[in-house]
Amino acid sequence: MEIGREVKIVEVGPRDGLQAESDIVPTKVKIELIDRLTRAGFANIEAASFVSPRWVPQMADGPAVMAGISRNESTVYSALVPNLKGLEHALESQVDEIVVFGAASEAFSQRNINCSIEESVSRFLDVVRMAKARGLRVRGSISCCFGCPYQGDVPVNSVADMVRRFAELGCDEIDLADTIGVGTAKQVGRVVAAASREFPTTQIAGHFHDTYGQALANIVSAYDAGLRIFGCPFAKGATGNVATEDVLYLMRGMGVETGIDLDTVVDAASFISSAIARPSSSRAGRALLAKRTAA
């Protein structure tokens, strides 16, 4: 963590955000977007996904995107990596960090990753070992930490178990993700406390979705429980993820330094909203743009 930066925001828009778009976004638009986010001051940008292009055609140009961006030395550029093949592409593209993933829900793991939680972790053993040997950071992302679309409730112990597994695997940072946005404030406090018993609190990130409008309340609760890393995408019209702008507005109001310039993020969001022809879903983003127009 840099001096003066109390909270780290992981901007996942170029990957998690654009991935959901059905029309292919041109490579040069992705590059300009990432460059704008770099200039805004993000310490970590999720820039690509090296899954099979047959799974996610939108992410097929990962190597070209990584080759085209203007890097900032103090920014970590991450990519999702599902296997050794993906790691190979990640190494060729010189990403700084890979993201491996699993779920706290057995039902979700079976349905979405086609294997048990146990198997999903063991599949990453070689990937993580090799990535670490090559000097890459590794982030482990855990889906369904606050509820599952298939099994409903997810016990706090299941989350803690998964955190321990990713810790043992050698992850440098671990995400607790509310994949379907069903978590609420007090629950977040309990889950973070349980995860903190397995892994250093300052290396745990909260990724909250706004499906039920709860994301910011959950972030405040997670902050109060000690989390200092939050993952979110600038708004791009899709519901689900909480908008980075709203999180930055919150942090600014709380007097918490993020090192990120909110106005530059609002501009980046305007750029991509117009490039992909979608209105912004960020309330703070819309309000700030309206104020500019009025001024």
* CB of residue 94 to a second copy, shortest distance in Å: 36
Nearer Cβ to a second copy (101/249): 249
Query: How many residues bind to a second copy according to rule CB under 8 A?
Result: 31
Stretch binding a second copy (CB under 8 A), from 34-42, 90-98, 113-121, 283-291: 283-291
Contact 104, 162 (CB under 8 A): yes
Q: Is 184 in the site for a second copy (CB under 8 A)?
A: yes
DSSP, residue by residue, 235-259: P-S-SSBPPHHHHHHHHHHTT---S
Instruction: Give the per-residue SS3 of 44-110.
Output: EEEEEECCCCCCCHHHCCHHHHHHHCCCCCCCEEEEECCCHHHHHHHHHCCCCEEEEEEECCHHHHH
Please list the residues that pair with 11 across neighbouring strands: 45, 232
Contact 209, 183 (CB under 8 A): no
Q: Is 181 in the site for a second copy (CB under 8 A)?
A: yes
Binding mask 201-230 for a second copy (x = CB under 8 A): ---------xxxxx-xx-xxx---------
* CB of residue 182 to a second copy, shortest distance in Å: 8
Nearer Cβ to a second copy (229/242): 242
Q: Is 5 in the site for a second copy (CB under 8 A)?
A: no
Q: Is 4 in the site for a second copy (CB under 8 A)?
A: no
| Binding-site member from 250, 260, 268, 289 for a second copy (CB under 8 A) | 250
Q: Rounded distance, CA 215 to CA 56, Å? A: 26
Q: Is 270 in the site for a second copy (CB under 8 A)?
A: no
Q: Is 238 in the site for a second copy (CB under 8 A)?
A: no
Contacts 24+ apart (CB under 8 A), 154-161: 154/104, 154/105, 156/190, 156/191, 156/194, 157/194, 158/104, 158/105, 158/106, 159/104, 159/191, 159/194, 159/195, 160/194, 160/195, 160/197, 160/198, 161/104, 161/117
Tokens of 216: 């910011």
| Binding-site member from 20, 252, 267, 278 for a second copy (CB under 8 A) | 252
Longest dimension (CA), the chain: 57
Nearest partner of 227 among 7, 2, 3, judged by Cα: 7
* CB of residue 245 to a second copy, shortest distance in Å: 8
| Binding-site member from 49, 58, 187, 196 for a second copy (CB under 8 A) | 187
Contact 190, 156 (CB under 8 A): yes
232 part of the active site? yes
Stretch binding a second copy (CB under 8 A), from 83-91, 135-143, 195-203, 242-250: 242-250
Stretch binding a second copy (CB under 8 A), from 33-41, 64-72, 92-100, 253-261: 253-261
Q: Which residues bind a second copy (CB under 8 A)?
A: 181-187, 210-214, 216-217, 219-221, 239, 243, 246, 249-250, 252-255, 282-284, 286-287
Q: What residues act catalytically?
A: 232
